[in-house]
A and B are shown apart, each in its own frame.
Chain A
Amino acid sequence: MKKVIFKGTLLPYLLLLPQLAITAIFFFWPAGQAVYQSFLREDAFGLSTEFVGFENFLDVLHDQTWLDAAGRTLLFSGSVATLALGSALFLAVQADKHIRGANAYKTLLIWPYAVAPAIAAVLWLFMFHPNIGLFGRMLNGLGVPWDYRLNGNQAMLMVIMASAWKQVSYNFIFFLAGLQSIPKAVLEAAAIDGARPTRRFWTIIFPLLSPTAFFLLVVNLVYAFFDTFGVIHSLTQGGPGKATETLIYRVYTDGVINLNLGSSSAQSVILMLLVVVLTVIQFRYIERKVHY
């Protein structure tokens, strides 16, 4: 590998500066603010401030509704990742075959990625709203009591579907690229040896795809944890009851709506720690078992 050596130290630091500045301003600064706020209890206007130590954290961790939200978030993220990865892999394998108009299919499958989360949610709302949605009305017409505004399970199903649908395109691109980089010769040799398509998929294609799949798993989990706010906000606002309130939505509600900055910051700090732990586990233990 060719290495570029700079003379002196000024130029390299100068070249790094923009990235460092962005990281500092948009990551370290707000993160530091959150840590600072999480030890305080303040009124909304910041006129009276009380240092409370770890009280905000203890309150959050002893709050049954927060613990419920944590469990719910695991269920939600697991379902979104499974659904998005599974369907993307299926579609990628199909699109990788020699079919007429493969490029048209590929383009169409990639499109949803360009849709903003809130727009995606509105799309699903227009399909499944019990009063104005096409399928929602159809379901009710068929005698299925469909109303995600009052049925927690249906609401959860809605946000999982909408969030997963958004992410399928992204996964699809990566799986397709991964499939295309698998040498044809290996597959042909296996075919000559008499391996059927299913066997070829599970013993050759799937292991060779595992680096891609691992990478996508991480990305999908992070997406489900942090980027699904728009979908939930537009579709259910965490309701009915608290049926679709995930941890990230809770941070928003407590901070922006309820103006409880201390608790909201403590929750963000906990989420931040969670991500740190996840990352360490993934790169220390899981990554070793993946074939690169």
Chain B
Amino acid sequence: MLRRSFGQAAIAAAALPLAAPALAQGGPLELQFWHGLPQPLGGLLEKIVADFNASQTAVKIAPSFRGSYPETMVAAIAAFRANQAPHIVQMFEVGTGTMMAAGRAVKPVYELLAETGVQIDFNDFLPGVRGYYAAADGRQMSMPFNSSTSVVFYNKDMFRRANLNPDQFPTTWEGVEQAMRALKAAGIEAPLTTSWPTWLNLEQFSAIHDIPFATLANGFAGLGTELRINNPLVLKHMANLQNWSREGLYRYGGRDNAADALFPSGQVAITMSSSGLRARISNEARFQWGVGMLPYFDGTPRAPGNSIIGGASFWTMNKGPRDTRSAAEYRGVAEFYKYISGTEVGAKWHTDTGYLPLTRASFEAVKKTDYYQRNPGADVPIEQMLRGTTSDNTRGLRLGGLIEIRNIIQEEMEKMLQGQQSAEQAMAAGTTRGNVVLRNFERANRG
């Protein structure tokens, strides 16, 4: 108890200078909003918040940058334990499973809207975006905001040098392999890399081929889920990566997005990464480049399916284990969510940042302008999100401890690419270790 009261006192002392003026003037109710977007994206987000604050007088949302996504998540959890959680926290997609199981720590969006009577039409949202943050029965849990997906970026100059068609990226892995060999023969040192090793090579790969990443609808249907990554298609892809790495066709660029640097600097011909890499490539690349959809193995039934998203959503948090919020606070949060789902706000955010538009209305609004003519390929991520029919395998992932699982798979892939183990051993070890994480999470969140 000593710990808690001390923590409260410390945080209250830190927050006092901020809260005091608002109380003294009897001004609008202040709501804390923690986000994890660095500049320039953070600035654009805070501009939206400022516009919202100017649009009404009931509440004032105070945004504050809390470091990277994982840091923001840890900070919000610690604050909740100390009874000082922010009203709204931006949480990256891999933290979704953890937040869903957080019980009374969070206020689900559907409850928030029902209690405050604020209307948001989630039917108009892109299904892949909305579904990632909805419960298995479709009820909205968190407010989607910045979503990206992954696409292919390729160097058109290098494609020309290898006598490949620069205007059409191969649709299948078989085609990609041929292109890689042609590029290698034309003297390009490293034809292919993939950023975000687990997200691209396992999570997106499984969605594109419409095969499960884990049981129970990728975890949407319950905490008892188990990894299913040890399957023939994934093994085929892993064995390919291992062979290509040995032959010098594929270059492993490091964990998370460390490989992002390789493409704009012209060291690789093809990269698969977040669609959000677009802005950096536009700034840095000194060559002609194109955007393509993620490839699939020829002849796979139901492929290509839609890709899944990355990015982050907004979670409404309760104050602490023994504290709740007032109706006015909830109302302010709900109004803010309504504001950001507006067509113009969404369209501007999409064109400013390259993130996906939230709603079809926003997408249509941008289509009416000449944005996609001026920025060829900017609509590829959206078209890729909308293709196929969404199934249990392509809605997204809902796994507790997904951050840890991603790291485990990265470790096993690294051992595999070093030649210390085969693709079968890597995926078997990843499955065993990942399932331990899932069981621990299930046990900790049962009651």
Contacts and interface: CB of A to CB of B under 8 A. Distances in A.
Interface of A: 33, 41-48, 50, 65, 131-132, 149-152, 237, 239-242, 253, 256-260
Contacts of B253: 149
A58 to B, nearest CB: 14
Contacts of B388: none
B72 to A, nearest CB: 13
A258 B403 contact: yes
Given A240-B418, A257-B70, A150 B252 contact: yes
A41 B440 CA distance: 9
Interface in B388-447: 401, 403-404, 407, 410-412, 414-415, 417-418, 420, 433, 437, 440, 443-447
Give the 3 A-B CB pairs with smallest separation, nearest first.
A240-B414, A258-B404, A241-B415
Contacts of A48: 103, 444-447
Contacts of A132: 261
Using C-beta atoms within 8 Å of the partner chain, give the interface range for chain B: 35 or more
A260 B253 CA distance: 29
Interface stretch (B35-43, B74-82, B374-382): B74-82
B77 A259 contact: yes
Given A239-B255, A259-B98, A131 B81 contact: no
A237 B417 CA distance: 18
A149 B98 contact: no
Given A42-B444, A257-B404, A260-B440, A47 B415 contact: no
A45 B437 CA distance: 17
B444 A41 contact: yes
Given A131-B265, A239-B414, A258-B401, 14 more contacts: A43-B102, A43-B445, A44-B77, A45-B77, A131-B267, A149-B252, A152-B420, A240-B414, A240-B418, A241-B411, A241-B414, A242-B411, A256-B70, A260-B440
B96 to A, nearest CB: 13
Contacts of A33: 3
Contact of A41 (B77, B104, B443): B443
A130 B378 CA distance: 32
B105 A47 contact: yes
B126 interface: no
A41 B439 CA distance: 13
A136 B98 CA distance: 40
Nearest to B265: A131
24 contacts: A42-B444, A44-B77, A44-B98, A44-B444, A45-B321, A47-B104, A47-B321, A131-B262, A149-B252, A149-B254, A149-B414, A150-B252, A151-B418, A237-B255, A239-B410, A239-B414, A241-B411, A241-B412, A242-B411, A253-B407, A257-B403, A257-B404, A258-B437, A259-B74
A53 to B, nearest CB: 15
Contacts of A150: 252, 414, 417-418
A43 B400 CA distance: 11
A260 B252 CA distance: 29
B423 to A, nearest CB: 15
A43 B414 contact: no
B443 to A, nearest CB: 7
Interface of B: 3, 70, 74, 77, 80-81, 98, 101-105, 252-255, 258, 261-262, 265, 267, 321, 401, 403-404, 407, 410-412, 414-415, 417-418, 420, 433, 437, 440, 443-447
B103 A45 contact: yes
B447 A46 contact: no
Nearest to A237: B255
Contacts of A152: 418, 420
A50 B443 CA distance: 10
Nearest to B70: A257
Nearest to B420: A241
A239 B411 contact: yes
A256 B410 CA distance: 18
Nearest to A42: B444
Nearest to B245: A150
Contacts of B255: 237, 239
A256 B254 CA distance: 21
A271 B104 CA distance: 35
Most chain A beta carbons < 10 A, residue from B74, B103, B412, B414: B414
A249 to B, nearest CB: 12
A259 B81 CA distance: 13
B418 A241 contact: yes
B415 A240 contact: yes
Nearest to B77: A44
Most chain B beta carbons < 10 A, residue from A43, A65, A152: A43
Contacts of A259: 74, 77, 98, 401
A45 B105 contact: yes
A181 to B, nearest CB: 46
A260 B440 CA distance: 9
A150 B418 CA distance: 6
Contacts of B254: 149
Contacts of B407: 253, 257
A259 B77 CA distance: 10
A267 to B, nearest CB: 15
A92 to B, nearest CB: 38
B34 to A, nearest CB: 15
A253 B403 CA distance: 10
A56 to B, nearest CB: 11
A237 B407 CA distance: 10
